[in-house]
Amino acid sequence: MDYSDRSHSVYIEKADGIGRLVLNRPDKFNAMSYAMWRAIPEAAKLLDTDPDVRVIVVCSSSDKAFSAGADIKELEEFSQDEVKREKNRVAIRQAQRILARTEKPTIAEVPGACIGGGCGLAIHCDMRIASSQATFGITPARLGIVYPLNDTRQLIELVGPSAAKHILFTGRIFAAEEALQIGLVDQVVEPDLLPDTVRDLASNMASVSQYSVRGIKKVIRRILDGQLDDDAETAKIFTDAHNGMDAREGVAAFREKRPPNFRWNG
């Protein structure tokens, strides 16, 4: 599949060290179809392995919605077909898992509605920046279905058990400012400032040592997966960094009172 083709429901674009994974079904408010879930892992891998990309932004081709959730028409079809239903579950799980475990940092750029499966996608990114016009909600209770364990765990890690229960037990839609207050998003800005805010953050991440960023992300993922103390691998991550080219450059730049020129790129 040619992921540079902007006619597809998921496409990618690159500029200045930033790769953008674009949800592109604006006529349906980016309702997440099976085809979109299937496309996300490959698109994410392409950006994650591209030496010209340092940061991945998951975003929308429309300013109306990040994603309004699941494709309801497909949900109706899946309810009658156990095989399709299981394939859809696996596709969603794979898309979210791969996105959460990219080596490079990820940012969700949320311009509008971020509901259900769309919110599930956003919470698997490292950070979420939202427009003040964005709305949020996780609505399985409105559909008579149950939120998956992995998604529920991600939500609890962000907002805590009590707020997660409130969100899931009510299925209500809430504003970006509340999402910020409970920790679901990291920053809320006015709509016209959203693209530049995300670009500035991504550019900042792209300018520092990528060896550091990727090593730190590995350590954070291990903590989130339940690791409580160093093992041989995390100890090696720490010690190897001190012998790396970026560490040598960072120390030299500090001594010489100049900006560092980090060259490591995986």
pLDDT one-digit tens code per residue, 125-152: 999 999 999 999 999 999 898 998 989 9
| pLDDT (average), residues 182-201 | 98
pLDDT at 81 exceeding the cut of 90: no
pLDDT value for 196: 98
Strand, helix or coil at 144? coil
| pLDDT (average), residues 56-72 | 94
Q: pLDDT band for 72, please (50, 70, 90 cuts).
A: confident
Report how far residue 158's alpha carbon sits from residue 137's, in angstroms, rounded to the nearest whole number.
14
pLDDT value for 1: 80
For the beta carbon of residue 218, count every other beta carbon within 10 angstroms.
Answer: 14
pLDDT at 33 exceeding the cut of 90: yes
Taking CA atoms, 184 is separated from 52, 69, 124, 181, in Å, by 30, 17, 11, 8
pLDDT value for 192: 97
Average pLDDT value for the chain: 94
Helix orientation angle between 82-100 and 72-79, rounded to the nearest 10 degrees? 130
Nearest alpha-carbon partner for 5 in 58, 71, 61: 61
Q: pLDDT band for 212, please (50, 70, 90 cuts).
A: very high
Q: pLDDT band for 71, please (50, 70, 90 cuts).
A: confident
- Left if phi > 0, otherwise alpha if psi is -120 to 50, otherwise beta: which for 160? left
pLDDT value for 70: 86
pLDDT value for 262: 92
For the beta carbon of residue 259, count every other beta carbon within 10 angstroms.
Answer: 8
- Alpha-carbon Rg of the chain, whole angstroms? 19
Q: pLDDT band for 266, please (50, 70, 90 cuts).
A: confident
Taking CA atoms, 67 is separated from 6, 19, 93, 116, 229, in Å, by 17, 19, 17, 8, 37
pLDDT value for 90: 94
Which domains are seen in the chain, by residue range? Answer: 10-206 (3.90.226.10), 209-256 (1.10.12.10)
Q: pLDDT band for 265, please (50, 70, 90 cuts).
A: confident
pLDDT at 209 exceeding the cut of 90: yes
Convert the pLDDT of each residue in 88-132 to its tens digit.
Answer: 999 999 999 999 999 999 999 999 999 999 999 999 999 999 999
| pLDDT (average), residues 200-213 | 96
pLDDT at 232 exceeding the cut of 90: yes
